[in-house]
Copies of this chain bind each other. A is one copy, B any other.
Amino acid sequence: MPEGLVIRPLELKDHEEWSRLWTAYLEFYETSVSEQVYEISFNRLLSTDAGEYNCLIAELEGRPVGIAHYLYHRFMWSVEDTCYLMDLFADPQVRGKGIGRALIESVFQIAKQHGVPTTYWTTQENNYQGRILYDKVAKRTPFIVYEKDE
Contacts and interface: CB of A to CB of B under 8 A. Distances in A.
Interface of A: 26, 31, 33, 36-37, 40-41, 44, 50-53, 69, 71, 73-79, 84, 86-87, 104, 108, 117-126, 128-129, 131-132, 134-135, 137-149
A8 B34 CA distance: 36
Given A53-B74, A53-B76, A143-B144, 5 more contacts: A26-B77, A76-B86, A121-B145, A123-B143, A125-B144
Nearest to A45: B76
B145 A125 contact: no
Q: Chain B CB within 10 Å — which of A36, A53, A75, A146 has the most?
A: A146
Interface of A is mostly: mixed
Nearest to A107: B148
Nearest to A108: B148
B73 A71 contact: yes
B142 A147 contact: no
Given A36-B79, A37-B79, A86-B76, A146 B122 contact: yes
Contacts of A123: 143-144, 146
Contacts of A74: 44, 51-53, 71
